[in-house]
Structure 1
Amino acid sequence: MSGELDLLQAGDLTATLTEAAGHDDTTQMCVDLAAVTFIDSTVIGALLQGYHAAHTAAIGYTVTGMNGQVQKVLQVAGVLATLQGQPPSP
């Protein structure tokens, strides 16, 4: 993925992530956002749906490569640690 991700791409992202989590041979999912410069709340929702799909399928899920605005948005939304595969803070 690259560039700006918003409502127009969120549905496709959700579908891709949930489909990948449903494959019998998937053991780990990694979403690389290194080339992404902007995300909105719908993309956060898609990333969280991917997390939940992976968790339900008992497979690993991490989001990597976040920087700049993308990292800040995920941090402010309170989901950065979860998406990085870290346990939630108390």
Structure 2
Amino acid sequence: MVEWLMNTRRLADGAVAIELRGEIDVSHADELRTKLIGIATNLRPVRIVVDMLHVTFVDSSGIGALAAGQNAARTVGVGFAVTNPASFVRQQLRMMGLTDAFGVQG
């Protein structure tokens, strides 16, 4: 089982997609925060899409990293969305009241 994996790619429309796998906890949150803020402020794509289909766990530090990325993106006029959240992730985001802010459907 993969503990943690982050793949980044540029999409044809100019967006940057970040696919996350495994657990996003205190041991990986800083790396994710740094990556998201860096993409927003340095690359300034049209949109950042964080695909969380294969995320098995997220804690408050992981959610904080997503929020920091979303805030950085908003500051420079870059769109931000979380897509395909696994059931547990969707539940965590809903409990924190962040599904709308992160553009999560349902």
How high is the TM-score relative to the length of structure 1?
0.89
Q: 1:4-60: per-residue Cα shift (whole Å, max 9, x none)?
A: 110000000000000000124522110100110110000110000000000001011
Q: Distance in 1 between the 2:47 and 2:31 partners?
A: 20
Distance 1:48 1:25, change over 3 A: closer
Structural mapping, 1:1-90, within 5 Å: 1-84=20-103
Distance 1:67 1:22, change over 3 A: same
Distance 1:23 1:67, change over 3 A: same
The runs of 4+ residues in structure 1 deviating greater than 4 Å are none
Structure with the larger RCO, 1 or 2 (CA within 8 Å, 6+ apart):
1
2:54–2:86: 8 Å Cα contact kept in structure 1? no
Q: What are the ranges of 5 or more consecutive residues in structure 2 without an aligned counterpart? A: 1-19
What's the Cα RMSD here?
Answer: 1.5
* Structure whose residues are more often strand by fraction: 2
Identity fraction in percent: 34
Q: What are the ranges of 5 or more consecutive residues in structure 1 without an aligned counterpart? A: none
2:40–2:76: 8 Å Cα contact kept in structure 1? yes
- The alignment partner of 2:82 has SS state of strand
Q: Distance in 2 between the 1:24 and 1:13 partners?
A: 16
Give 1:67 deviation, angstroms.
Answer: 2.1
